[in-house]
Amino acid sequence: MLGSEDDDAGARTPPIVHTRAYQQELLDESLRRNLVIALDTGSGKTHISVLRMKHEAEHNSQKVSWFIAPTVALVEQQCEVIKTSIPVSVGLVSGASEPNQWKDPLLWRRILASHRIMVTTPQVLLDALHHGYVDMGSDIGLLVLDEAHHATGRHPYNMIMRNFYSTLPPRTNLTNPNDRVRPMVLGLTASPIYGGNVDVAFRELEKNLDSTIRSSRVNRDELAQHVHRPEFKHVLYASPTHAWDGLPSPNYQALKAVVDAMNINEDPYVVSLRSRLARLQTGDDRRRLDQQLSRAVDKQDTFSHKGMRDFARAAEDICRELGPWAADWYVAKVIERAKMAANPYNNIMSAWQEKEKRYLLKILARVHAIAPSPKPEDIVNGITPKVRALVDSLISEEALFRSRDEDYSGLVFVTRRDTVLALAELLRCIPETAQLFRLGCLLGSSSSFKRHSFLDITRNLVEENQADTLRDFKIGDKNLIVSTSVAEEGIDIQACGSVIRFDPPPNVVAWAQSRGRARRKRSSFIIMFEESGPQKVKEWEETEQKMMAAYNDPRRDAIVAAQEVEDDVMDDYVEFQVASTGALLTIHSAIPHLNHFCAVIPSGGQNSHVPIYELDPPDYADGWHSDSNREQPPYQGPWGATVTLPRALPKYLRKFTTPRIHSTKRKAEQHVAFQAYCELYKAGLLDQHLLPLSTAIEPDKKEEVEAMLAEVAKRASTARVSIQIDPWALSPEEVVAWFSHELTVEGLPTLRLLTRRPLPTFAQGDFPTLYIPKRGEVAMSISSTQLIPVTEEEEQRARRYTYRLFFILYGGRMERDNMDFPYLFLPTSDWPDEAIWEERRQWQEERYSRGFVVQGEGRHISNAALFGEQFMYPSDLAIVRGVNKFDKPLRLLSWRYDALSAEEEERFREQYDMSPDMAVTYPLMVVKSLPKRRNFMIPFTDESTDRRQSAVQDDSPFLLHPKYALVELASQNELQYALILPSILRWLANALTVNALRTDLLAETPVYNVPLPLLLTAITAPISQELYHYQRLETLGDTVLKFLSSNQLYAEFPLWHEGYLSRKKDHAVANSNLAKEAVQKGLYRWIIRDRFVPRKWKPHYVSIKSSPNDLVEEQEVEKREDKGKKTKKSAEELSTKMLADVVESLIGAAYEHGGFDLAIECAKRFGLGLSWKTLPERIEEMHKVEDLEDLPEQLGLVEQMLNYQFRRRTFLVQALTHASYQGDSAVMSLERLEFLGDCALDMVVTDYLYHARGKNYTPGYMHIKKEAAVNSHILAYICLNASVAVESIMPTWSPATGLETVDDTQRIHLWQCLLHSSHRLLEDQNLTFARFQKHGPAIARALAEDSIYPWAALTSLQAPKFISDMVESILGAVYVDSMGSLDAVRQVMRSLGLMQIVERVVVEDVDVLHPVSRVAIWASQQDPQRNVEYKIEKEKGQVKCVVLVDEEKLLEVSASYRSRVSEDEVRFTAAERAMKKLEVRDIAVEDTVMIAEDVVEGDDDSWGGAPEYEW
């Protein structure tokens, strides 16, 4: 029952909870004032807090209750208790929730709005308060602090109360619940004291928490019934008898001898520091390194030395505490694990450096450790009296519980972690305890991957994790746990029957907390003491009695806490608050804030950036580490400090200093960090929550856009209209009149076109080409608009003519006698044979009006036999058909007068088996099916066929009986128009959609003038299956937009580092941002998404709100049953990506027509959250930098390599400056220029691929070919390959020739010109160049000659990122220096050899598909599909990749293991060899992306699904 048995263990609440009287007493008191409830563990404190939060939730709906607990484990278990007990939403946030990533203020507001109770660690709440995400006065009504005794010093509990609670107005009786005032406070603790002075401790805790400490006063007897105090026992043991300098452990003695002989000057860290110091010139970097070396020599706290000393000290303590056998076991076990960890062929301790591993192996090899004896008698003889006493106590306790017929469960508290391990091993090996106890260990948990100490390897000695151990203890699989203090509080552990303190508790809190673990009835609490006796116990008991008397004394309620002088926690306290958000920077939070700011600055693949602190004066005199300079004692203060921030910042924001006025080093560093962070805020590099801008530039808009799209769809559904506009629809205010145009199709007579709205004036290049079988490519045009009066008779004639024209082929889908079309047609007066056809139609009209019709005849359809008799069987008939309703239209080839043979007649009669008595009369009709082509916008695909001939083979001719056939009274010209008009009207509707876009969204912008074909392509979605759609333009526009955005941001924010720029650019060009702007501008109305399906076409009707051109409705689902194809929607729903794609394609169209200036105008129309200026204006802003006076010597050599002369060399210096460079140069590091150069490189390559002659690459192809040109491997190769020869001569002398000069020409490489101050970076450079020297020639040959791109060979360079960054930063410098000339960038790319690689990839069609992708595609194409797996194995310094095909080994590749990149190298190489062995060929992008161009002509059913865009 919650609060009745085990609240601190997080027991689950049963259905009914009974509140005890003492709990109700304290609950009532907590409603009146702030309380710290002091009750023993197990008495139900949590139940009181649950009831208090339940009351708060019921009476204050505007503010939350905030429950804080000091550990993640305690937060999780208490959250479960609260969720089970209170029917409201409960939120949990701890370090495991990654709250450092929660930088969106709106996210916190949503959390607070959707939860009534929050359960967090104190640091989470403190951070949220610091950044202004949470306002304590407005958001929190009740603050509950579990384990409240922690609220002292700098603990987050105390910082929350000092910095945020105490600054708020106090509550009064007149306070409204929603006022911004202090929340109520409820603390929970079993021991409200630190130290031995109860009065001082109580005053401090009550002052810090603005509360009164209370326990039950009225219901003490009931409280006593529910608190099971254990029986206290003490165990005495004899002191160890061995001398302090002669411990009887041979392994410890061997270890101590080796540790004592260690020389700090041989430590690899010290050796490395001395080597680096010798190479450095005088300056800041040398001074810092000198201090670092002196500190290492003085403190001897290097990883290796400190670790070995800790090891020896732990072994010594174990020997004294547990005995020589345990010490021998511990030393042998740690050395075994250390050798495994230090072995260079594995990666157990990745934090260890290679030199440290080798050094430790050498040191450990000198320790001649022996394995401890496994014999029980040797083990027992090798234990101390203390262990013997523990064993006897455990055996006695277990026997006592067994005599009561109870299961034993015990907990042994030990101070040191290593002693826990050794003691547990002893208890497992001593026969008496091994038989009785099932042991587990608790050491606490740590998930950090940072390097801490050498002895961290002992964590691996515990095979089970903490959660498993606790679970096994609960269910009885384990009955004894040996633990550090981690189990004293905050761990969900069941009540124990016996708790033993192997080491006495250090204070009264530890005494009370560990005793509280023994909560079972008739439990025991045992403390072990040396023979001198348990004198401390009496002190603790007295302190506890004073404590209980104090919080039960009613007179204390009237005592007002005295305003004491602030302790040193608040000395020199300063703070800075942002008024708009309440975000607070304090002197104590400045250093972690500044560390975080530096850490988020991109580091180019090297170590994360950190602020560098230097004390004033330094800790050590210059050169103190040398033996001759150690006389001067260290300086004792006062102190000043300087902090240096990364070079990614401008010079004036890089260095800050505070004078020598601070009493401690720590305070000096805090004050200079506080000063630096305030200046960063003033410079605009922090947001209003005092966070780096990269974490809160803009929130993700995806959910917002999806909601907007849903609203658009809802409105469209309600109004019964399509989201896509109807270009034929008229608005109510438009004048109803007819506008006349002339439609001209090459080879056909002109047709008048009447529309209700004037058509725009089309340029000749706007019109499409028609592809007509037997006629080839045919031109068409529509004349300009004329407003002419149309009589009612003429309008009716046009309606009848249009109806008759469409009825020829589409009558089955038309509405009978409905002539309400938005477009009308009439022939011009010069149509040939019109008089003849008018006579024929008049004849049929008379017959029809008099009722003289036979089966199938209509007003414009005549029986073929009767028609032939009347008009002499003419041969100019355009279309005939059978008399049945669903007979297809046919072409008349001729009339046959020759008699049929017997065989022909037999076949002929089979056609008319329903008329067995039919008489065969002559002439018969020779007919043929109409051509199957209906979409005349699609080009012919068969290049080998003469386009003047049919592109599709016609069916064979057959015969019809005239008596059973019908003749359409339409001429050949009318049939031609009936066939092609749907295609023409489709184009015209799309053109009108473009015109609507122009006159609305693009009105009064230069983008209005972009040619119609480009705009039409830009707004046509691939799902429409039009010949041209936006995918290629979108790919181009995407690159253009990123290029332009990068330029705008680079110029507008000169203080921003690359991380800020990238984040802002990514937000600006994100699909969600583009889609939001598109929705707000209504762009979705002009996106052409519906499909043109001629076999379902019918004319558009004004009176019916249908989709334009009667295309497939958006929700129509077309089922494909052949070859098991899945059902698929024929039209794509409006999506975020589609909207974003259209914005980008419009920008691409603007760029194609008018370059970057017009593209900027288009982007400006959508805004996108950026301030848009022309590129020349932005380039001018980029040039507002000061020129350097002292330029590095290597600049001229770099210019020779680039074949480019810089106008302002300052840009080149920046492009060559690494973030580690410590010189006096004012320039920022290269990352900003690398950001600009990256987008310039992308722009050059994408533009080239888009316009590659004769290629017309699909987006998929453009993507993979661009990746081949801009990936980090090829850029690193380019950098390593770039060099220039420096001619020089060197004198030499020999006895034979005397003094002479010889050629000493040297080659300087581009990578050598990087300005840096990092020994590690130099080492990376040299190793990478060594690999380049080995693999470079083969890569060069492959790039110049091979037909397949050398992915694996390039990967073998294993180049660090900063090498490829150099190329991009140089290109960025060239771009800025040349005033924004991409031609200059292109020329430098050519000088470096990169442009030639791009051109060869295109011109020679080099296969750039990645080998891993190629093999995967091949496997998916096999029938049945094959499964390919790459299995990576590491062993003895080698890494091996085994290729498995259907679990059978195909091949393997191995190489030396150097880093993670080695795994990629063998995997890529293995994939290339697998390609050859499996004979994988002819795998192309089309195998994964359906290409829209490859539409097969023929029956419309052969059209595939909508083309997909996967890149």
Task: For residue range 970-1006, list pLDDT tens digits in order.
Answer: 999 999 999 999 999 999 999 999 999 999 999 989 9
CB atoms within 10 A of CB 1135: 15
Task: For residue range 1469-1508, list pLDDT tens digits in order.
Answer: 888 888 888 887 666 554 444 333 332 233 333 222 222 2
The 3-class secondary structure across 1406-1456, one letter per residue, is: CECCCHHHHHHHHHHHCCCCCCEEEEEEEECCEEEEEEEECCEEEEEEEEE
pLDDT of residue 1280: 94
pLDDT tier for residue 1343 given thresholds of 50, 70 and 90? very high
CB atoms within 10 A of CB 172: 8
- The encoded tokens of residue 590 equal 């400045």
- The encoded tokens of residue 266 equal 């041989």
**For 806, phi and psi rounded to 5 degrees?**
-75, -30
Alpha helices in 1346-1405 (DSSP H): 1351-1355, 1361-1377, 1382-1392, 1394-1403
Structure-derived torsion over alpha carbons of residues 1366, 1371, 1373, 1378, reported in degrees to the nearest 10: 160
Length of the chain: 1511
Please compute the mean of the pLDDT values over residues 174-180 and round it to a whole number: 75
DSSP label of 336: H
- The encoded tokens of residue 49 equal 């807090």
Mutual angle of helices 1319-1345 and 268-279, in 10-degree steps: 80
Select, from the ranges 584-588, 1057-1061, 1248-1252, the one with the highest average predicted confidence (pLDDT): 1248-1252
pLDDT of residue 1115: 37
Torsion sign over Cα 829, 833, 837, 840: positive
Q: Which helix (H) or strand (E) holds 291?
A: helix 284-299
E strand residue ranges, 864-974: 880-882, 890-896, 924-929, 958-960, 965-968
Identify the weakest region by mean pLDDT among 299-303, 629-633, 1389-1393. Answer: 629-633
Cβ atoms of residues 911 and 964 within 8 Å: no
Identify the weakest region by mean pLDDT among 60-64, 547-551, 929-933, 1079-1083. Answer: 547-551
E strand residue ranges, 190-303: 212-214, 231-237
pLDDT tier for residue 1223 given thresholds of 50, 70 and 90? confident
pLDDT of residue 1171: 92
Q: Which residue reads 């710290």 in tokens?
A: 36
Please compute the mean of the pLDDT values over residues 2-29 and round it to a whole number: 59
Q: Rounded to two decimals, what is the model's pTM?
A: 0.74
3-state secondary structure of 782: strand
CA distances to 353, 1266, 1468 from 1437, in Å = 16, 36, 19
pLDDT tier for residue 489 given thresholds of 50, 70 and 90? low
Cβ atoms of residues 603 and 715 within 8 Å: no
- The encoded tokens of residue 708 equal 């907007």
DSSP label of 242: S
The 3-class secondary structure across 1194-1246, one letter per residue, is: CHHHHHHHHCCCCCCHHHHHHHCECCCCCCCCCCCCCHHHHHHHHHHHHHHHH
Task: For residue range 421-440, list pLDDT tens digits in order.
Answer: 889 889 988 988 888 888 88
CA distances to 676, 1114, 1119, 1125, 1158 from 1505, in Å = 60, 14, 10, 10, 35
**1114 pLDDT above the threshold of 50:** no
- The encoded tokens of residue 867 equal 């028609």
Q: Rounded mean pLDDT of the chain? A: 80
DSSP label of 162: I
pLDDT tier for residue 1125 given thresholds of 50, 70 and 90? very low
Cβ atoms of residues 855 and 966 within 8 Å: no
pLDDT of residue 1442: 92
> What does the alpha-carbon distance between residue 1361 and residue 1373 come to, in Å, rounded to a whole number?
18
E strand residue ranges, 860-964: 861-863, 880-882, 890-896, 924-929, 958-960
pLDDT tier for residue 616 given thresholds of 50, 70 and 90? confident
E strand residue ranges, 564-608: 575-577, 584-586
- The encoded tokens of residue 762 equal 């089309």
What's the angle, vertex CA 751, arms to CA 748 and CA 753, rounded to 5?
A: 145
> What does the alpha-carbon distance between residue 288 and residue 272 come to, in Å, rounded to a whole number?
14
Of 1400, 1389, 1399, the closest CA to residue 1203 belongs to 1389
pLDDT of residue 1129: 40
> What does the alpha-carbon distance between residue 759 and residue 756 come to, in Å, rounded to a whole number?
9
**1108 pLDDT above the threshold of 90:** no
Of 677, 667, 662, 673, the closest CA to residue 613 belongs to 673
Alpha helices in 579-664 (DSSP H): 590-599
- The encoded tokens of residue 925 equal 């009709």
Alpha helices in 166-211 (DSSP H): 198-209
pLDDT tier for residue 1221 given thresholds of 50, 70 and 90? confident
pLDDT of residue 450: 39
Q: Write the single-letter amino acid at 993.
A: T
pLDDT tier for residue 536 given thresholds of 50, 70 and 90? low
> What does the alpha-carbon distance between residue 687 and residue 695 come to, in Å, rounded to a whole number?
9
Residues with Cβ within 8 Å of residue 670, at least 6 apart in sequence: 587, 588, 590, 591
Give the largest CA-CA distance in the chain: 139
> What does the alpha-carbon distance between residue 1001 and residue 1008 come to, in Å, rounded to a whole number?
9
For 600-634, letters b (16+ CB in 10 Å) and e give bbbbbebeebebbbbbbebbbbeebbeeeeeeeee
Please compute the mean of the pLDDT values over residues 1336-1341 and round it to a whole number: 92
The 3-class secondary structure across 882-899, one letter per residue, is: ECCCCCCCEEEEEEECCC
pLDDT tier for residue 1104 given thresholds of 50, 70 and 90? very low
Identify the weakest region by mean pLDDT among 139-143, 709-713, 1089-1093. Answer: 709-713
| Residue with the larger pLDDT of the pair 510 and 1223 | 1223
Of 300, 297, 302, 301, the closest CA to residue 629 belongs to 297
DSSP label of 532: T
pLDDT of residue 3: 37
> What does the alpha-carbon distance between residue 397 and residue 410 come to, in Å, rounded to a whole number?
9
**1199 pLDDT above the threshold of 90:** yes
Cβ atoms of residues 1165 and 1054 within 8 Å: no
Please compute the mean of the pLDDT values over residues 635-659 and round it to a whole number: 88
What's the angle, vertex CA 931, arms to CA 928 and CA 933, rounded to 5?
A: 165
pLDDT of residue 532: 61
- The encoded tokens of residue 183 equal 């929340």
Please compute the mean of the pLDDT values over residues 469-493 and round it to a whole number: 74
| Residue with the larger pLDDT of the pair 603 and 964 | 964
Q: Looking at the DSSP assignment, which residues form a beta bridge with residue 186?
A: 35, 144
pLDDT tier for residue 455 given thresholds of 50, 70 and 90? low
**For 658, phi and psi rounded to 5 degrees?**
-120, 140
